Structure 1
Amino acid sequence: MSISRQSLLLLTVESVAIFLSVLLAFFVEEWRDDRREIRQMQEALAVISHELQSNAAEIEQTLPFHRESLPIVVEQVEALANGGDFPGPGEIRFANAPVLSTAAYSMAVNTGALERAPTDALIAISLAYQRIGQVDRVSISLAERNAQVRYNDGVRYLSGFVYFYGSIISTEEAALSTIAQARAAIEQAQ
């Protein structure tokens, strides 16, 4: 059984056509995957940007209260240290902790939706959420301080408020700055 040149040529052409069809199918599938990943990244960045905006609004709502409370607590510490009475109920400025969210960022990281995001945007986003975590930790410390009213050591108790108010103010200000940088990086990445 001999194969003629015409049959061999036809077999070669069919083989090349099948090979190119398979390559084209792989290319199209890769292109679709790339498009899907880019779309997921853009959606994740949009949700993260919205979450950062909401977190910034929360911080902007509590920061003025913390700024105006710090000098009041300092005055109370000074008055108590100079023999004054411990502030009565309603006179202590208990901190308002901002309610911050990290759900969008956690979801994007856990699903890998940010794998294709530009490095500078990822760094800015990570720094913003690191600052948000710091605000949360200081807020928790302040909340614990709110719950520990100890009248027997009033100066030390109120001095702790001075420290925590200073901490929350500085971390909230830093968080607002890094959130603004992250949102700018996200806007540039989209």
Structure 2
Amino acid sequence: MGGYTVIADVGSSLLKLLREQLAPDPVPRPDMIGVASPVDKGDLALTLYLYSVRENGEARRNELLPQGGVLRYPPLAVDLHYLLTAHSSADLHTRILDEHRILGRAMQVLYDNSVLRSPYLEGTLAENEEELRITSENLSTEQLAQLWHFGDTPYKLSLAYRVGPVLLESNRVKPGARVLERKFTLRDKGG
């Protein structure tokens, strides 16, 4: 569970994993993997783009959490949805094959690390020793094309993944006085 930085911490954690596992082959340098829109790729070979944040109703918690004399409201559970897109600057004859190699390796890495744990966790995720589930989204070509709303840029093969549940802690608290003594009254049932 983390504060407002938890969404950025998830992105940093995914970057750490992908950079460590994809460089130097098939991506020459770790800094060629980054968080960016597929159309604002610059010189990146692989972009990780957060396209949606949705509440995860299955992971929703309702109980107040005791914390230092107060009760903290439960965290908001969300799933983060990412697009991974490969970009090659190779000549036309090998560009698509390079991109397929990058996507294939990225798929392999995310499959092998479908539960992301330390040492890849960053920020508040590392502090709280969280675990993140990484799941491939089974989106149709039409659904992927609908996600691809980047002006007149033509659709480019991308992978969609869901990461979560991610717990965003609440700042709301409720006073919760501790029970200091109990009082019992016993009554005789007879007569």
Q: Decide which structure has greater strand share.
A: 2
TM-score normalized with structure 1 length: 0.22
TM-score normalized with structure 2 length: 0.22
Q: Which has the larger radius of gyration?
A: 1
Q: Decide which structure has greater helix share.
A: 1
